[in-house]
Structure 1
Amino acid sequence: MIEKDIIVVGGGASGFFAAINIAKQAPYLKIAILERGQKGLAKVKVSGGGRCNVTHAEFIPSELVQNYPRGEKELLGPFHQFMTGDTIAWFEERGIELKIEDDGRIFPVSNSSQTIIDCFLSEAKKYHVDVLYSHSLKSLKNEHGLFQLDTSQGSFLSKKIVIATGSNTKIWNLLEGLGHSVSKAVPSLFTFKINDERIKDIPGVVAEDVEVKILGTNLCSEGPLLITHWGMSAPAILKLSAFGALEIAKREYKFQIEVNFIRQSFDDCLEALKNSKQQWAKKTAFKSSQFNLPKRLWNKLVLASNIAEDARWADVNKVQIETLAKQLTQAVFNVAGKSTFKEEFVTAGGISLKEVNFKSFESKRVYGLYFAGEVLDVDAVTGGFNFQNAWTGAYILSQNITKGLV
């Protein structure tokens, strides 16, 4: 039986961040990270397309929390203690230069997630944190003020523990055994599978500013939309998948969306098309892309409006004009499934937020038990927000977990 003062279960972003910050302020404590895999930080490795989207350039807590479908209310206080600017400072103090891209995402200047991984491994070594790989947690007990952890490589005793395992059903089951309740996990960040002639054969086309609604709900999002081989992706879709995760799961990922490709009303669009008909009477409608839409998408919507490829604007009739206006502002698509966004996988679900003290990220049910990251029922839209939740929770618990330990 190996004894430690604090054990962090989970060798991911929040686990390393927690352990390093704990060890820095309390170097006299024996701290270990238990990682089930042969290597840790796997999710950091693939995040942001392998560049690691560290956080997002949003510096106002009340606006930052709006990116969290679950956790918005609970994270407001913590973000006043540690958020984007603090994250940037933390990494820069360790020689990691970061950059802000046009869309607000923040990456290391190196454009490599290995930069972040190397930083964590170096800091863990510097502060004598034991990182133990291939230690899959088998059982977890809390008796007489001590935690007993049985792993695939041996058993441990610890005064306090941090659970930073992300969305892990096995760990959630063990935590239920300690008295916690868990919200069922469902995918939260995914693309839409759509088989439709209007988007067939034009993968890579981006409509820069669209509005997407899920019909039969109040769910709506805005932003860029990417047409893929599979269907639709990009922020407008991913944001909708995050905020609509529970509702979409109820519908078994089969539903309808309405897309306004130009963010104009039907009437305004119709009026603009009528003006085009008069202004460019001799030009072909197919080749006369309007509203700054990509030409290939415009072509598809013109054909979907029963307008021939060689038809001049003068030959387009009233019904066709109205149909085109509807395709541009009220296009309905059938969604027939989902797909993981790149290699990243985010879920809605986890430890009930009512059972956590967000001033310390300690369990309200079990003294000495702390949580960080997606093990909680917190998730965010794409863009570095899930990592910011991880850094914030891990940092705050690190400032509180050492209390009472000598």
Structure 2
Amino acid sequence: MKRIIIIGGGAAGFFCAANLDESQYKITILEQNTDVLQKVKISGGGRCNVTHACFDPRELVQFYPRGNKELLSVFTRFQPGDTMKWFENRKVSLKIENDNRVFPESNSSQSIINAMLSEIQQKNVEVKTKCSVKEIEKSDEKYVVKTSLGDFEADYIIYTTGSSPKSLKMIENLGHKIIDLVPSLFTFNIKDNLLKDLAGTSFEMAETSIPKLKTEESGPLLITHWGLSGPAILKISAWEAISLAKAKYQFEIVVNFISKDTEDATELFQNFKQSNPKKTIGQSKIFEITNRFWQRILEVSKVDLNKQIANISGKEMQTIIENLCRKKFQVTGKSTFKDEFVTAGGIDLKEINFKNMSSKILANFYVAGEVLNIDAVTGGFNFQACWSEAWLIAQDLNNL
């Protein structure tokens, strides 16, 4: 019986093992940590954002700053609907939330983990934890995997290590080209009076742009202790990961907190002013923002909160609108989520055959997951790439 060694006990490695035909292969998963599926466990705040309810592969690939062309054929064969069916067939009920993210009904990542664990137990897959791979050697038709627990021989290797520099170095030594790693999903560090002490304030729909890069994104926005976060920021950080790394995370960003252009915002303000001339500006609810944020806007715009709205000058109104719709911030660095860290960079995609995720450089060697130069915005997309790639590998091996 031929031997498959899967290096890496994360989402891609486990999903691949769960779909392999155990009557054809002896399967072993090697994981260097004490626990398997660690990222699955903590993803989505412990609820596990399994996938995203986007069922058209052409639309789905738009969420991947790197890998979108290559993933089109992959998603044509296994997409979010197939992922959902796979888990539901294994008694894991899933739900689609308002923003189209998909979670288990249980709101616990353990449901997802248990489904995969039970599948691989039924298949008698051997799992070795605390097993650190030191080197992979090609020996005739086989591979020898040298680890902290001794040597393992394999007919096929499935490489799903995630994007640690050590694992990339190892595959580079085997002949693969590596694209340098840079962080992909991160929040922006900004020190500015407008944001000071307002951590937790959120905006349902904001627009962000980086003029120097001629790029813009929109979505919910969140003020944090260190600056700005939320989908509007994370999306722009993913698409511009490489440019922002080159800029050493020092750049200017323009934020429109209310997603209205200055003309519409001015018209709203004028209409409110005519209907409520006696109201004080500090107590006026003109835009969909919190009172605290509105009052801070007025402070920063140097407008007296107790002034009657009828007495607000054209110049004051212009300053307020400018701070709401076109506020410029200097970004001075980034903060990454240690737990849900996503990177751009990894194995060069030109060296992978996306029909079955096999290496074009190494015979009987397959690759899936974050070790590839593929990444996505937040929302279940990174996992979906793992599930789809892993499924393709399993199908290819089952049909040999």
The interval holding the TM-score normalised by the smaller chain is over 0.9
Distance, in Å, in 1 between the alignment partners of 2:238 and 2:3 is 37
- Displacement after TM superposition at 1:182 (Å): 0.6
Distance, in Å, in 2 between the alignment partners of 1:283 and 1:123 is 65
Q: 2:98 maps to what in 1?
A: 102
What whole-Å deviation, never above 9, does each CA across 1:93-141 have from its counterpart, x for those lacking one? Answer: 1111111111111111111111111222111111010001111110011
Q: 2:216 maps to what in 1?
A: 220
- Displacement after TM superposition at 1:291 (Å): 2.6
Distance, in Å, in 2 between the alignment partners of 1:348 and 1:10 is 19
2:8 to 2, 10, 27: 10
Matched letter for residue 326 of structure 1: E
Distance, in Å, in 2 between the alignment partners of 1:91 and 1:214 is 40
Distance, in Å, in 2 between the alignment partners of 1:349 and 1:189 is 13
- Displacement after TM superposition at 1:173 (Å): 0.8
- Structure 1 window deviating more from structure 2 (385-394 vs 293-302): it is 293-302
| Residues matched between the structures, number | 400
Distance, in Å, in 2 between the alignment partners of 1:199 and 1:41 is 37
User: 2:305 matched to 1:297?
Assistant: no
User: 2:363 matched to 1:373?
Assistant: no
SS at structure 2 position matched to 1:399: helix
Distance, in Å, in 2 between the alignment partners of 1:68 and 1:245 is 12
Unaligned runs of 5+ in 1: none
Say whether the 8 Å CA contact 1:6–1:30 is kept in structure 2. Answer: yes
Distance, in Å, in 2 between the alignment partners of 1:365 and 1:40 is 28
Say whether the 8 Å CA contact 1:137–1:152 is kept in structure 2. Answer: yes
1:236 to 232, 235, 245: 232
- Give the 5 Å matches for 1:306-325: 306-325=302-321
Matched letter for residue 337 of structure 2: F
Say whether the 8 Å CA contact 2:189–2:227 is kept in structure 1. Answer: yes
Distance, in Å, in 1 between the alignment partners of 2:382 and 2:288 is 33
Q: 1:258 maps to what in 2?
A: 254
Distance, in Å, in 2 between the alignment partners of 1:10 and 1:342 is 19
Q: Percent identity?
A: 48
Distance, in Å, in 2 between the alignment partners of 1:127 and 1:267 is 64
Say whether the 8 Å CA contact 1:372–1:394 is kept in structure 2. Answer: yes
Unaligned runs of 5+ in 2: none
Alignment RMSD (CA, Å): 1.4
Distance, in Å, in 1 between the alignment partners of 2:23 and 2:284 is 68
User: 2:202 matched to 1:211?
Assistant: no
Distance, in Å, in 1 between the alignment partners of 2:51 and 2:372 is 19
- Structure 1 window deviating more from structure 2 (56-65 vs 299-308): it is 299-308
Distance, in Å, in 2 between the alignment partners of 1:190 and 1:352 is 23
2:78 to 71, 75, 82: 82
Say whether the 8 Å CA contact 2:22–2:124 is kept in structure 1. Answer: no
Say whether the 8 Å CA contact 1:362–1:369 is kept in structure 2. Answer: yes
1:155 to 147, 151, 156: 151
SS at structure 1 position matched to 2:194: helix
Q: 1:145 maps to what in 2?
A: 141
Say whether the 8 Å CA contact 2:268–2:286 is kept in structure 1. Answer: no
- Displacement after TM superposition at 1:264 (Å): 1.9
TM-score, normalisation: structure 2? 0.97
Matched letter for residue 206 of structure 1: S
Say whether the 8 Å CA contact 1:26–1:402 is kept in structure 2. Answer: no
- Displacement after TM superposition at 1:329 (Å): 1.1
1:167 to 163, 183, 199: 163
Distance, in Å, in 2 between the alignment partners of 1:268 and 1:53 is 37
SS at structure 2 position matched to 1:281: coil
Say whether the 8 Å CA contact 1:368–1:401 is kept in structure 2. Answer: no
TM-score, normalisation: structure 1? 0.96
